[in-house]
Structure 1
Amino acid sequence: MTASNSKTQYTSYQEVWERSQSDPAEFWLSESEYINWITPPATALSHPSETEWRWFPDGTLNVSANALDRHVDAGRGDAIALIADSAMTGTQERVSYTELRDRVAVFAGALRDLGVVKGDRVLVYCPMTPEAVIAMLACARLGAIHSVVFGGFAANELAARIDDAKPRVIVTSSGGLEPGRQVPYLPLVHRALEICGAESSGVSAVVVADRAHVPGTAADFTGSAGAGATWYDWDTIVAAATPADPVPVHANDPLYILYTSGTTGSPKGIVRDSGGYAVALSWVMRGIYDFGPGDTIFTASDVGWVVGHSFIVYGPLLAGGTTVLYEGKPVGTPDPGSFWRVLAETGAKILSTAPTALRAIRREDPELREREKYDLSRLRAIYLAGERMDPETWHWVRDGIGVPVVDHWWQTETGWPICANPLGIEELTVKAGSTTVPMPGFDVRIVDSAGVDITAPDVEGNIAIKLPLPPGGMLEIWGSRQRFLDSYLAAFPGYYASGDAGHFDEDGHLFVMGRTDDVINVAGHRLSTGSLEEVLTQHPAVAECAVIGIHDPLKGQRAAGFVTVSRGTRIPNEELAAALIALIRDRVGPVASFRDVTVVNRLPKTRSGKILRKTMRQIVDGEAYTVPATIEDSGVIDEFIAALAQTVSAPPTRAVTLPR
């Protein structure tokens, strides 16, 4: 492999951003020199049409080798690559670059022995243990495409992703751990395969990492043969495998598929490329995080989300630093000082987390007394993502911890921050409630409903990004280019539609105010209201329903359901509410935080039959609202408010909340 020693130095954020806009090809080709290429790209950008572009189309590389092998080859094999900290088991494991490279290479060999080749999909359904990271990097080593599914999803959600990605192999664990309980994974995998059907799923093998040392999570293969795939023990196949060499892939070959909710209820498989993603993350670690060899980052997320992909796994390892893999919660494992303990014990320079986590800590420890027990002298900054950070909590953590707090904005689709405070270049003025400024390659505009550019200070509208997206942005939606076009590029021709609304201020700082569609954000997890509604309507008593995202002081939003019942239904409202809450937990999982059900006589609708979800949300959240002139019957609003008074804020709703 080859790598250039030339490094471009920048003196200011403005210089970086302007160069990325005036000559994006030259800018990103220069940045690509930070990556070890097998075939270095001579072309930065292929842009044959407004809706089609590819970065570094003539380059070849291996992302896993860039994350591991090159650091070992450079003499840094003894440096710590991964610190696996489990607050659930009270253990901590430190893995060097050499050890991680070797474990990845051998597991890649085991996958190869199971028939996995370049371009195959491998679904990873694991808790926050080293096996999850090893499986991801082993897929990248083979040129296979991994699709990581968050372990909190129920069997039918897992089945939907299996059915779409058609993985050859599933890599899973005997179980995960939550405070006070164990979560067995194998019954969920088995049920998901049954839902898909052996022939249509395409799964030939399931590899199980047995957590036999953890009480209640030992693997039980009973009944597994009936799921159509052959089940293997991780340790057994690894013992019989030989290391696999890195497989060259083209820069535009997919590295992974990561599913995000769609407004139709059908998950969208976001496809990430290999070369563009590596170049983008290399820039982010330097330009935004000021992170490199010798530094440690604690990203308190899950590898099932894009934050985990970019800033637990690929970003820190591409940069040659140390990444922390944390199995635990911000509070309750065992106390609200959990994050501060991890930061102190690992010497982390950066904490990356979601506002929800900080709100949970604040609720339990408003005076930050737990923080006083730990030495956080190496912490330089806190980065927040996943949802909008409320100014009150922002001030609380900034004043209490005493380091810059960067509320940066990005999406699964973009792969890395659209807007941030680039501390690796210069620390810009911070404004509570703002995501600061656009990063290189992102030309962010405010457009009206017709797609007209209305960007001006304090003018709110749809946030859109001028095409093409920079390296690392999504390539497409797995299996459906038309859905990619319809979902992101059709609304405002020439732009990527972010689905968010907001405005710039007079200093060019962006304020993201919320979603413009029916996808809600629960503690940083995007959930489709349509998919939740589909589950509710499966109950025989439900005639019609609507799910909206209502304000939650901890999670940002939570899902609330409003249902009408079929004529002749005799089930009491409290009993129906409890059944629907249980149904959502079974089919979607506790991640939905679904605990509010209101039975109404009618749902507010327009004369054309459109349910007035925005008006409903404004009423529930106590905001000012205007009843649309197109409403079918204005009297239904009074009925809706009366139902809320009896259900949402009254004891019956709390009485049917299921325990976590």
Structure 2
Amino acid sequence: MGAYDESYHRSLADPEGFWLEAAAAISWIRPPTRALDSANAPLYRWFPDAALNTSYNALDRHIEAGHGERTALIYDSPVTGTGREYTYSELRDDVAVFAGALASLGVGKGDRVIVYMPMVPEAVIAMLACARLGAIHSVVFGGFAPKELAARIDDATPKVIVAASAGIEPARVVEYKPIIDAALELAQHQPDHTIVLQREGTLAKLGERDLDWAALTASAEPVDPVEVAATDPLYILYTSGTTGKPKGVVRDNGGHAVALAWSMRAVYDIGPGDVWWTASDVGWVVGHSYIVYAPLLVGATTVLYEGKPVGTPDAGAFWRVISEHGAKALFTAPTAIRAIKKIDPEAAEAAKYPRDSFRTLFLAGERLDPETYHWAHEHLGVPVVDHWWQTETGWPIAGNPRGLEPLPTKPGSATVPMPGWDVQILDPLGKQLRAHEEGAIAIKLPLPPGALPTLWGDDQRYIDNYLSRYDGYYLTGDGGYRDEDGYLFVMGRTDDVINVAGHRLSTGSMEAVLAAHPAVAECAVIGVYDPLKGQLPRGLVVLKAGVDIPEEVLREELVAAVRRDIGPVASFRDVSVVDGLPKTRSGKILRKTMRGIADGRDEAIPSTIEDPAVLDALRPILRRQEVEDQRPGD
């Protein structure tokens, strides 16, 4: 067997030995003598007898090993025209001082701190400072609406909020303090203080319980890292949603550190001194795992980018950052690459920047369509690696282990399950399906280290939402299949499967067909109500820049392609060309919101939407209820 096969099979046959061996990469205050605690199954715990400090592992131990002058963090902010590099020693010192500032306000082990900040170094400092104290941080994406922020305040009951005066975007400034004040008016829980980082040109008015970051840290004394149990929470991260109580995904300290350190080397091939750029936000799980914790745990250099790296007229922002900072790898979402492809289809901007250091492009967050995969591979000249994971899992479920054993890639596939993840494809009755049979993607328990052990304050909700559908399995909510080589194809959320006249069809499969058309930059397919067939697919496509094709011609070609590749059973006839698709600020297309509008429901529009005007422009298209005569063979 190869290195991947050997590791994968061992991780399932001997999880105790596999993860205890992986735990050797972490510095422990009290090393683990056993890996898995199953006493309270299905609520499993990892390294139950161990103790450590995550902030120490991310910073201090590298300094003690003689690497204090190595660059830990590169801050690149085109929206402010500024930048800065932090060595490990400098970052550790700032973290220790801010931890002291929090401690002076009574923040200690187990207390919660909400971090509501843009992509600035102080956001990273606040997170690591909480970890240093054993406090539990809950980062809320900067710019979330007051109602959503208030829900998180009431659920986490923080002692302190850490915020900035504003977030600066390419076309606007978002003032954070009025949002916080409005949220606190709505919230039942009231934190003791709000610490505000005052940004140049965007000063916030401070109230009686508000504290200035600079003034508070000026008098603070640095503190040393405290001991926490491996099973103690490191952070709470709330999953996005517009209704109901938010779900607070809990991440522990020990399993998280072990899994991320292992994945950084084995999955991403990043180690000490390598420059790594994750083009995301610290408000999302990708930012937690692969902007902040994983690269610092292994002694790498992480790039913190403030601004949108993609958009007219700067289609070259990605390539500039990679070139200037010598990034070995980039991790972003397929949406970002599709946006570049639309603006710069021949990749002329990429050709302007030497990328001698660049080795791999990693994509995740949504399905990578084959057309985008081929475009990126052709124009960038590096392996393009799709991989798949979730907020709940914290690190990749499936991927291509570039540091362990690089595997061949297949368009449309997230490659293979990573060690620790026993991935199965199940039918509605829980039967395991064979190769190429599409079903629900489920993971046999126990989940590996780094995955959520529970939801904040609600074990039963965790069991009900994730563990009750199939006995002994975690339900991912995604559907897909595996091929004869074991490669996993994730076709989309199971609620993106539509029922056309009794036939269950994947909208992801249809999107793959549309995306393969040379005129299409990006697309979405949603199911809409039909009185005859129950549901019918509706396609929305965005054209590449400079494409001139009559809409009727394009429609006929796309309908013919779906009929050819999927079959007449899809009843695919409705295609509209649109200027843009509604997305969250992390780049995910809001299919659920579009489905609601198409069905005649004005669902609450998430405050995380990137451009509400796009959704407004789509309303009349989404609500169009045309019933055409059935074509022969439909």
TM-score range, shorter chain: 0.7 to 0.9
The answer on 1:56 being equivalent to 2:35 is: no
1:443 corresponding residue in structure 2: 422
Distance in 1 between residues matched to 2:442 and 2:241, nearest whole Å: 18
CA-to-aligned-CA distance 1:632-659 (integer Å, 9 cap, x gap): xxxxxxx962399xxxxxxxxxxxxxxx
2:64 corresponding residue in structure 1: 73
The answer on 1:384 being equivalent to 2:369 is: no
1:458 corresponding residue in structure 2: 436
Distance in 1 between residues matched to 2:248 and 2:539, nearest whole Å: 26
2:154 corresponding residue in structure 1: 163
2:512 corresponding residue in structure 1: none
Query: Contact between 1:154 and 1:589, CA under 8 Å: does it hold in 2?
Result: no
1:609 corresponding residue in structure 2: none
Query: Contact between 1:281 and 1:416, CA under 8 Å: does it hold in 2?
Result: yes
Matched residue SS, 1:201: coil
1:545 corresponding residue in structure 2: none
1:362 corresponding residue in structure 2: 341
Amino acid at match of 1:595: D
Shift of 1:460: 0.6
Distance in 2 between residues matched to 1:595 and 1:481, nearest whole Å: 39
2:8 to 12, 17, 21: 17
Q: How many residues align?
A: 547
Query: Contact between 1:88 and 1:333, CA under 8 Å: does it hold in 2?
Result: no
Distance in 1 between residues matched to 2:259 and 2:242, nearest whole Å: 28
2:320 to 325, 330, 341: 341
Distance in 1 between residues matched to 2:609 and 2:407, nearest whole Å: 40
Shift of 1:588: 5.5
1:417 to 387, 391, 396: 396
Matched residue SS, 2:72: strand
Shift of 1:279: 0.2
The answer on 1:292 being equivalent to 2:277 is: no
Distance in 2 between residues matched to 1:29 and 1:319, nearest whole Å: 17
2:196 to 208, 219, 225: 208
Query: Contact between 1:157 and 1:588, CA under 8 Å: does it hold in 2?
Result: no
The answer on 1:96 being equivalent to 2:79 is: no
2:448 corresponding residue in structure 1: 470
2:479 corresponding residue in structure 1: 501
Distance in 1 between residues matched to 2:254 and 2:41, nearest whole Å: 21
Distance in 1 between residues matched to 2:379 and 2:254, nearest whole Å: 40
Shift of 1:93: 0.5
Distance in 1 between residues matched to 2:243 and 2:403, nearest whole Å: 40
Query: Contact between 2:119 and 2:306, CA under 8 Å: does it hold in 1?
Result: yes
2:204 corresponding residue in structure 1: 219
Distance in 2 between residues matched to 1:184 and 1:324, nearest whole Å: 25
2:626 corresponding residue in structure 1: 642
2:125 corresponding residue in structure 1: 134
Matched residue SS, 2:97: helix
Shift of 1:449: 1.1
Distance in 2 between residues matched to 1:145 and 1:211, nearest whole Å: 25
Query: Contact between 2:311 and 2:339, CA under 8 Å: does it hold in 1?
Result: no
1:185-334 alignment, distance < 5 Å: 185-196=176-187, 200-212=188-200, 215=201, 217-221=202-206, 224-225=207-208, 230-261=209-240, 265-332=244-311
CA-to-aligned-CA distance 1:547-590 (integer Å, 9 cap, x gap): x997565656333243899xxxxxxxxxxx9xx79x837x5554
1:650 corresponding residue in structure 2: none
Query: Contact between 2:242 and 2:605, CA under 8 Å: does it hold in 1?
Result: no
Query: Contact between 1:263 and 1:517, CA under 8 Å: does it hold in 2?
Result: no
Matched residue SS, 2:322: helix
Distance in 1 between residues matched to 2:469 and 2:495, nearest whole Å: 12
Shift of 1:331: 2.4
Distance in 1 between residues matched to 2:627 and 2:242, nearest whole Å: 27
Shift of 1:194: 0.6
Matched residue SS, 2:486: coil
Report the more deviating stretch, 341-350 or 255-264.
255-264
Shift of 1:427: 1.3
CA-to-aligned-CA distance 1:89-140 (integer Å, 9 cap, x gap): 1222100000000000000000000110100000000000001000000000
Query: Contact between 1:156 and 1:588, CA under 8 Å: does it hold in 2?
Result: no
CA-to-aligned-CA distance 1:494-513 (integer Å, 9 cap, x gap): 00000000000011000000
Distance in 2 between residues matched to 1:338 and 1:211, nearest whole Å: 24
Amino acid at match of 2:605: I
Distance in 2 between residues matched to 1:387 and 1:588, nearest whole Å: 16
Shift of 1:518: 7.5
Distance in 2 between residues matched to 1:233 and 1:240, nearest whole Å: 12
Amino acid at match of 1:431: K
Amino acid at match of 1:209: L
TM-score normalised to the size of structure 1? Answer: 0.79
Shift of 1:439: 0.3
1:407 to 386, 395, 398: 386
CA-to-aligned-CA distance 1:344-381 (integer Å, 9 cap, x gap): 11100010000011111111111111111111110010
The answer on 1:183 being equivalent to 2:174 is: yes
Cα distance 1:552–1:143, how it changes in 2: closer, same or farther (>3 A)? farther
1:152 corresponding residue in structure 2: 143
Cα distance 1:552–1:249, how it changes in 2: closer, same or farther (>3 A)? farther
Distance in 1 between residues matched to 2:299 and 2:315, nearest whole Å: 30
Cα distance 1:420–1:642, how it changes in 2: closer, same or farther (>3 A)? same
Amino acid at match of 1:584: I
Shift of 1:219: 2.2
Cα distance 1:591–1:135, how it changes in 2: closer, same or farther (>3 A)? farther
2:375 corresponding residue in structure 1: 396
Distance in 2 between residues matched to 1:452 and 1:407, nearest whole Å: 27
1:525 corresponding residue in structure 2: none
2:114 to 107, 116, 123: 123
Query: Contact between 2:165 and 2:199, CA under 8 Å: does it hold in 1?
Result: yes
1:557 corresponding residue in structure 2: 589
Matched residue SS, 1:352: strand
CA-to-aligned-CA distance 1:224-257 (integer Å, 9 cap, x gap): 34xxxx1000000000100011010000000000
Distance in 1 between residues matched to 2:406 and 2:305, nearest whole Å: 28
**Cα RMSD, aligned residues only:** 2.7
1:114 corresponding residue in structure 2: 105
Query: Contact between 1:172 and 1:209, CA under 8 Å: does it hold in 2?
Result: yes
The answer on 1:172 being equivalent to 2:163 is: yes
TM-score normalised to the size of structure 2? Answer: 0.82
Distance in 1 between residues matched to 2:620 and 2:331, nearest whole Å: 40
The answer on 1:513 being equivalent to 2:491 is: yes
CA-to-aligned-CA distance 1:204-238 (integer Å, 9 cap, x gap): 100000112xx3x22222xx34xxxx100000000
CA-to-aligned-CA distance 1:247-282 (integer Å, 9 cap, x gap): 100000000000103596432100001000000001
- Show structure 1 runs of 5+ residues with no match: 1-9, 522-528, 530-547, 566-576, 601-619, 621-638, 645-660
CA-to-aligned-CA distance 1:385-442 (integer Å, 9 cap, x gap): 1100111011101110010111000000000000000010111110000000000100
The answer on 1:594 being equivalent to 2:615 is: yes
Matched residue SS, 2:481: strand
Shift of 1:333: 7.4
Distance in 1 between residues matched to 2:313 and 2:216, nearest whole Å: 36
Query: Contact between 1:152 and 1:590, CA under 8 Å: does it hold in 2?
Result: no
Distance in 2 between residues matched to 1:431 and 1:509, nearest whole Å: 8
